[in-house]
Chain A
């Protein structure tokens, strides 16, 4: 089986600024892959490239062997790539249940007329959509809040909702942008267990951007280090920890 995600010599320029240069990265199915690097290293840009928000200036991104770079974000999402954001971006004006349903429903195939008329296939699909979305909320301990507006959730619950929403796309690949942002040490270790559970329960390959080294080192099978848009190291957590370039550029005095 070929890799799930292949990033081949991708470069992204914004005017004169080169946010990502000649990035190569291969993520096999089933692993958890960490991306670390200082602020401004291009980590989120990489996520935006994978999800189609940006089109690479050069290079190709393949998912399940098919080229996805250049496709519209909604198509890429439906191919099976879900993501969360550094600053939570749930639809706060929608209910908790609707947030999940919207991702679940976008995969259903029926025309606008059917959805206007509420006939046949639509009625059953709707029941199924609600049932499956509730299951997902149940798993995340959010089913009790299903009918309240998402803005009413606590910060931690909003984070969980955002992950649930991404999983409602039934993705094979889940991109998490700083899931531990704004969490203390205790919350972060709980999050580590939580993410491990998601990986096992939903059989999903994860790429996560994170600054909490403890989480990254504990959870990830492979790590890529970015600095100024370049991949400066690639390897297992042990290899990364021992890499002098990484220590110089990033880890330095900040971790264990």
Chain B
């Protein structure tokens, strides 16, 4: 029983990380119907930026400051990529934008690889402690991952449901062609969407790097794909679906590793994607698009 509870704690913290990354995919898809395949690499860069900040900062930066800096830098970079690489292709066929996104991702990961060819150890950002709660071990870091992710998700949900930006974002996602006629600057909304979505990915990269403290230029590939799967399982374009998908994937992974040989892990997650898509082609919370007349 304690073993089960222990795995549940692990599953929740991994699920939160997948969900944070999946949010970036799904937000961008929601407004542009485009998959930002550079997202996984921006996630990886989040961990490296954190490493750089910790290594080169003259004073020891506390965790909250580090987190905000990483989110701003990665978010800014995501916004810049949108402005320079994706915006000129806004009216081009979607596949061109997707290929461009793959290209941007490769440029980011290979630039990182050329600077840091080997894996690096993530320094300890704070003194991690281990608590024993009714026989279940939970670390400060796990609590932090859960707390920070939860705060970011609640904040994002409030922003989208309640704020002026959120209304405009939903309007653009629904009909990007008529939104400008209501005075909405679509470019501004899309820039902000990238800023927020990739900022969340950067935060996830930093937290992931702290949880699995060996970081490398290629770490974004597999994790990025999995978060993408999480977004698709939940229903891509649907914010709550991304969170749900992240949790499902995190849970399935942790429990398959706990009960089966660990090499089955990815086989099982990808099979899950296939099975869910057969029964729910638009994902669990996704809806079939309205046919326009």
Contact = CB atoms under 8 A, between A and B. Distances in A.
Contact of A73 (B164, B180, B290): B180
A72 B180 CA distance: 8
A85 B178 contact: yes
Given A87-B293, A91-B175, A112 B182 contact: no
Given A115-B163, A115-B165, A116-B165, A102 B171 contact: yes
Contact of A77 (B183, B188, B290): B183
B186 A74 contact: yes
A116 B159 contact: yes
A105 B169 CA distance: 13
A94 B183 contact: no
Contact of B182 (A92, A106, A108, A118): A106
Contacts of A77: 180-183
A94 B182 contact: no
A51 B181 contact: yes
A147 interface: no
Interface string A65-99: 00000001110011000110101010111100010
B167 A74 contact: no
Contacts of A89: 175, 178
A1 to B, nearest CB: 25
Contact of A74 (B164, B170, B180, B293): B180
B252 interface: no
Contacts of B170: 91, 93-94, 98
A251 interface: no
Given A89-B175, A116-B159, A94 B180 contact: no
B182 A102 contact: yes
A107 interface: yes
B167 A98 contact: yes
A105 to B, nearest CB: 5
Contacts of B175: 89, 91
B174 A112 contact: no
Interface residues of B, number: 25
B180 A105 contact: no
A136 interface: no
Given A85-B178, A91-B171, A98-B167, A107 B183 contact: yes
A101 interface: yes
Given A92-B174, A94-B174, A112-B192, A169 B182 contact: yes
A165 interface: yes
Contact of A112 (B165, B178, B179, B290): B165
B165 A83 contact: no
A51 B179 CA distance: 12
A101 B185 CA distance: 15
A106 B167 CA distance: 10
B184 interface: yes
A103 interface: yes
A116 B293 CA distance: 37
A126 B152 CA distance: 23
B203 interface: no
Contact of A105 (B164, B181, B185, B186): B164
A24 to B, nearest CB: 24
Contact of B164 (A53, A72, A115, A165): A115
Contacts of A74: 180-181, 183-186
A83 B181 CA distance: 7
Nearest to B172: A91
Contacts of B165: 112, 115-116
B168 interface: yes
B26 to A, nearest CB: 15
B180 A101 contact: no
Nearest to B173: A93
Contacts of A93: 170, 173-174
B178 A105 contact: no
A64 B173 CA distance: 32
A116 B181 contact: no
26 contacts: A51-B181, A72-B180, A77-B181, A77-B183, A78-B183, A85-B178, A89-B178, A91-B171, A92-B174, A93-B170, A93-B173, A94-B167, A98-B167, A98-B170, A98-B171, A101-B164, A102-B168, A102-B171, A103-B183, A106-B183, A108-B164, A115-B164, A118-B163, A165-B182, A169-B182, A169-B183
Interface of B: 159, 163-165, 167-168, 170-171, 173-175, 177-186, 188, 192, 290, 293
Pick the 5 closest A-B CB pairs, nearest first.
Answer: A106-B183, A73-B180, A74-B180, A77-B183, A103-B182
Interface of A: 51-53, 72-74, 77-78, 82-83, 85, 87, 89, 91-94, 98, 101-103, 105-108, 112, 115-116, 118, 126, 165, 169
Given A77-B180, A102-B184, A115-B164, 8 more contacts: A77-B183, A89-B175, A91-B170, A93-B173, A94-B174, A102-B171, A116-B165, A126-B164
